[in-house]
Amino acid sequence: MNAEQRSVFQGIVYYYREHTVLCRYELTMKDPVDAELLQQACDEARPLAGYFFQKVVWEKREAHLAPNDAPFRVRIGHVQPHIPEDTDDYQLACSCEGNQIFFDWFHFLADGRGGSQLMTLVLKLYCNLRYGTAFACEPLVSDPPYDIEDILARYPESQVENDMQKEVTQTSEAKPQLVRVRLDKQSLLDAALPLGVKPFSALITLFCKAGREYLGRDDLMYNYSTDARDAMGTPKALFNCVASFQRPVTVTEADTLATLVPGVEADIRHNLTKEPKLFRVAEQMAWGTRGNARALPPRTKKAASRRAGTFWVSYQGDPFVPADPDLEKYLTDFQTWVPADGASIGVECTTLHGVITICIQNKAQKPGYAAALRRAFESAGVKVLEAAELGPSPYTSPYIP
């Protein structure tokens, strides 16, 4: 497997999903968006970010990226396109409406950190055109992909039965409902600090507490994604470089943040170290060696994607890579929407202007989740700025309205 094939292979697991997993960044600018200038910014980004402006070519069971000569068109409107059917074979799309800019991409191409690098570049180019700023816009040069065969050889036990291959917790599969929660970031830090735990551990714990109330059961399974670039030695990777973990937890009515969070913290701290990340990547990549991902029967794809349980949390934090407070001044809001693939509830968290915005796609088909989350967070002294049920998901992935 050569380097180009390896970079594609990082995302091949997304062809094992039942549905195409499309990710969306939703930016609200301080002023109405100029579509012509946004188009110009995307055109200027193409030679600086060639990895993203390609198409997928399949030859039998092997996929590779190839140049795409079709024009990359900025779309008008908020409707998420079908990728790549509606995008001239591009694995991403950019659109705008009013004060908003939307970036959509197929998860096969990049994870959130990879997608953020392109979004940050385009936004800098746009601000330079729109406001006369002077943001530096350097080419996006990716680290070489890690050697998958070497990782698998290093951890042969990763290729025997594991939680990605055995029967797992059944997930709800109703049409997702959108929920949005906004937290005061400082209040979450204040809740975590006296307990000596990471804010993310406190966040996961309070989701568990809310999950018990909302679902009416004590035994839950939480999943979370971690950036594996540090473990893989690829800090500038544009391709997928994620290790995902899961853990069962039992929550009782008497449990509080203080009683639950030590176990969550120990689990997360362990899995953020190098060896657990490497081993987990090996387990994930082992799926990609098991035949033609596109030709798998639906039942196998269903089992492959349902390796999670109750909810899946991804914490992006600062949406820009690299972080840039000057760039943030031109935005009033930032939201991340990703399907609840492999879990009943999918959770995406980003931070802007001291506010943690939590975007949730909930397939449990039961009202009251926003209220349960509000009670859980407020019980720990976390200030809830918003907890709203937004109705059915409008996104094309994985359900088409």
Domain residue ranges in the chain? 3-131, 160-392
| Own/partner pairs, 87-93, CB within 8 angstroms, 24+ separation | 89/55, 89/56, 90/53, 90/54, 90/55, 91/52, 91/54, 91/55, 91/56, 92/52, 92/118
Share of residues in the chain with pLDDT > 90 (%):
73
Answer whether residue 400 shows pLDDT above 80. Answer: no
- Is residue 83 scored above 50 in pLDDT? yes
Give the homologous superfamily in CATH for domain 160-392.
Nonribosomal peptide synthetase, condensation domain (3.30.559.30)
Q: Which helix (DSSP H) or strand (DSSP E) does residue 316 occupy?
A: strand 311-317
Q: What pLDDT is attached to residue 16?
A: 67
**Range of lowest pLDDT (178-187, 285-294, 350-359):** 285-294
351, pLDDT greater than 70:
yes
Quick check: 94 and 102 in contact, CB under 8 A? yes
pLDDT of 62 reads 76
Q: Which two tokens stand for residue 249?
A: 């937890």
Res 397: pLDDT: 54
pTM of the predicted model as reported, rounded to 2 decimal places:
0.92
CA separation for the pair 234, 139 (Å, rounded): 17
Alpha helices in 329-389 (DSSP H): 369-379
- Model pLDDT, residue 307: 44
Which is nearest to 110 in space by CA: 10, 26, 213?
10
pLDDT-derived band at 280 (thresholds 50, 70, 90) equals very high
- Asked if domains 3-131 and 160-392 share a fold, the reply is yes
Sequence-distant (6+) residues with CB within 8 A of 227 are 111, 113, 241, 242
Query: Domain 3-131 carries which CATH code?
Result: 3.30.559.10
